[in-house]
Every structure is written in structure tokens, then in C-alpha cells.
Amino acid sequence: MAKKQNAANAAEQSIGNAMSRTELFFENHGKSLTVGLVVLVLLGGILVGYRKLVMEPRNEKALDLLAQAQANFEEAETDYELALNGDDNGAGFLEVIDRYGSTKAGNLAKHYAGICYLKQGDLENAANYLSKYSPAKGIPGAIINAQNYGLQGDIAVEQQNYREAVKFYEKAVDAADNNVTAPLFLMKAGRAYKAMGDNAKAKACFERIATSYPASAEARDTEKYINSL
């Protein structure tokens, strides 16, 4: 009984010491902790104010310019030079990037600029701008992300860098796992693996299309590609 009492007393003493150390810490550092909390609150307020007063107006201006560039990009007969550089009637994607590259609109302009350069046959600039695009969130963003990776894969194929191409195509599949884009990029990945001489991985890509996306257009050709390996 005495041992239990001594143990209890020791435990209480230990807890008491710990509490004393905690109280002493707050006594010694309370001022600096309070200052730290105030700084965090102020920083939070500054960030909110920055978003409201700086970023949101910048995004709106960037979206206005992006709309001008997109209007040229979406013409039936697209003038990719005009879409890139704009004219007196409106901005091009490069101006959006130059002035508002850090905004969401500026980010999307990098993707479009890459497409324009690709359409013009300028693979170096196309790869450069496509790689500057940062993946966006949400379902519409996922589709653009997949397209971006897929286009970078296409450039790698043009350069006969099939190992790099399959990396991009597989990223494209993962970015938007749906019945339209995923089988398309799986088919491209399979062809790239075949070009590398890796028939096993090529076959795996074609079989995945047949089993996971049987209703896709690509599924109709998988047997032909498998038999060609």
C-alpha cells in the first residue's frame, strides 16, 4: 500500500514538474508566441487582401485578353500566327503569358501557345510552352491536362524519342481516365512501345483498351494491333 502511495505521489510530482515546465515556457516565451500569432493573423489578412485586390482583378484582365486570343484560335480557318501574337484588334496568347503568366488564364495561354507552335511545325517552341503549363484541377481541367501530356508525347514521337513518348501518354491516360481520351492515348502508347520493340508492353496497352474501354473507337482495332505483334 505504501509503495502504491509512493508511486502515486511520484506520478503527481512528475505531472506537477511537467506542468511547471510548461507554465515556465509560456512565461518565458509568451510574448514571442503572441507576436507570432499576430504575425500569422496579419499574413492571413494580407493574403486575403492580395487575392481580392490584386489577383482577382489580374485574373479578370487576363481572361479578357485570353478571350481575344481564343476567338482567333477558334476561327474555322485558324491563323495560328495571329492567335499567338495578336494584332491591333486583340491580344494573342504570347501577350497573355507575358503580362499575366502567373494567373490561371496565363497558364492556359501557355497550353494554347504550345498548340499554335505545334500547328506551325515549330516543335521546339511547342514543347517549351506545353511543358510550362501547370495541370489544372477539376473535370474540364483534367481533359486539358490529358491533351497537354498527349501533345508532348506526340512531339516526342516526332523526334523518335519513344521512351519519353510513352511516359507522356501514360500520364495522359492517368490525367483523364474516361472512354474518349484514355483509349486514344493508350493506343498511342501501345504504338510507341511497339516502335521501341517492347511487344509485351504494347500488347498490355492494346488489351487494356479492349477490356476497359470496349465501347471506344480504338477498341475495334486492338485485335489487329495485337495480331501484328
pLDDT per position as a tens digit, 78-98: 999 999 999 998 999 999 999
Residues 177-196 pLDDT 10s:
999 999 999 999 999 999 99
Residues 108-165 pLDDT 10s:
999 999 999 999 999 999 999 999 999 998 888 899 999 999 999 999 999 999 999 9
User: Within a domain: residue 76?
Assistant: no
What is the per-residue pLDDT for 62?
83
User: Within a domain: residue 211?
Assistant: yes
User: Within a domain: residue 70?
Assistant: no
User: Domain residues for 197?
Assistant: 143-229
Contacts of 228 (CB under 8 A, 6+ apart): 194
CATH of the domain at 153: 1.25.40.10
Distance CA 148, CA 109 (A): 12
Average pLDDT (24-46) is 46
CB atoms within 10 A of CB 59: 18
Structural domains counted in the chain? 1
User: Within a domain: residue 93?
Assistant: no
What is the per-residue pLDDT for 106?
93
User: Within a domain: residue 69?
Assistant: no
CA nearest neighbour of 96 among 126, 130, 70, 128:
70
User: Within a domain: residue 37?
Assistant: no
90 DSSP β-pair partners = 87
Residue with cell 488489351: 207
Q: Does position 173 have pLDDT exceeding 80, yes or no? A: yes
**What does each C-alpha distance from 28 to 23, 33, 34, 187, 222 come to in angstroms?**
9, 10, 12, 66, 72
Confidence of residue 49 (pLDDT cuts 50, 70, 90): very low
User: Within a domain: residue 118?
Assistant: no
133 DSSP β-pair partners = none
User: Within a domain: residue 2?
Assistant: no
